[in-house]
Chain A
Amino acid sequence: MFPPGLFTLQFMQNAWIAGTAIAIIGGIVGFFVVLRGATFVAHAVPRASFAGAAGAAVVGQSSVLGLGTFAVLSALGIASISRERRHGVATALILAAALGLGDLFLTIGHVYAPAVFALLFGQIVGISTHDVRAVLIVSVITVVLFAAAFRPLLLQSVSPHVAEAHGFWTRGLEILFLLLVSGAAAAMVPVVGALLAFSLMVGPAAAGSILGKSPLQALAWSVAFGVLSLWLSVWLAYLTFWPIGFYVSGFCLLFYFAARLIKR
Chain B
Amino acid sequence: MATKKVYGIFEDDDVVLEAVKTLRAKKYNVVDVISPFPIHGMDPALGLKRTRLSICTFLYGITGTSLAFLMMYYMNIFDWPMDIGGKPSFAFYKNMPAFIPVTFEFTVLCAAHGMAITFFLRSKILPGVEPHVIDDRMADDRFVMTIEAATGAEAEDAKAAMTAMGALYTKD
A and B: interacting chains? no
